[in-house]
Structure 1
Amino acid sequence: MKMEKKDPLYRSFGYAFQGIFTCVRKERNMKIHCVAAVLVVIAGVILKISAIEWCICMVLFGLVMALEHVNTAVEAVVDMVTEEYHPLAKVAKDTAAGAVLIAAMMAAIAGCIIFLPKIVQILQ
């Protein structure tokens, strides 16, 4: 058995960053997630959220964006394998998209729990 030569670690990171930049550049929903993240960061600075609240926001940013990358990968692989309609291709694509939607909805709910009381307090 022949041993495969592995890429150096810095190349592996380079490929990963390429994947991130490609997804941000080409995927509309990823652009929306990035804008939402920037708006949350701005709101967090203005409303002076706590360290724990920042950690919650960062974890949720990571979860939603990572799932968007997985969704993009699933869609690319399915499209590469078949151009014709197939019920299993639909299941793969819809399920991956559903995972992103669930994470985004939970992130939005968590955002409301964190930010709405602070906004209400300012408005009183």
Structure 2
Amino acid sequence: MKSFLKKYVRKFYYAFSGLFHGITHDASIALQCILGIIALAVFAFFDLTVTEWIVVIILIALVITLEFVNSAVEHVVDFISPNYHPQAKIIKDYMAAAVLVVSIAAGVIACIILGGKLL
């Protein structure tokens, strides 16, 4: 039982280590986290329903998660292909586009929620 708990505690340690490293060493991840905190602060001034809060929190988590995935893919691509390669650029551009699409969707949904509260 002790080794079972040790194994899972170690997994959480690695996850929190990755979270901390991403926030402190990756400007894009840090920016998305700051924007997420700002969004939560802005939404706190409005009378959101439980469903609206769930949507906001899921979208913030989705954008930050995708930024972590984007950074991980970029690191893997840089490791595999340290020199410029057009295919490596395409892979990185696709990941950046994925973050952009989710960020735009989150922004539109935030405007819809806030617009409903302001009108």
TM superposition score normalised by structure 2? 0.89
The equivalent residue for 1:86 is 85
The equivalent residue for 1:8 is 7
SS in 1 for 2:84: coil
Contiguous gaps of at least 5 residues in structure 2: none
State the alpha-carbon separation in 1 of the partners of residues 52 and 106 from structure 2.
12
The equivalent residue for 1:25 is 24
SS in 1 for 2:44: helix
Does 2:67 match 1:72? Answer: no
Contiguous gaps of at least 5 residues in structure 1: 1-5
Residue 51 (structure 1) shift? 0.5
TM superposition score normalised by structure 1? 0.85
Structure 1 or 2, whichever has the larger Rg, is 1
Does 2:106 match 1:104? Answer: no
SS in 2 for 1:48: coil
> How big is the alpha-carbon RMSD for the aligned residues of Structure 1 and Structure 2?
1.5
CA-to-partner distance for each residue in 1:42-100, whole Å, 9 max, x for gaps?
Answer: 12221121110000011101111111010010011111112211121111111111111
- 2:116 partner letter: P
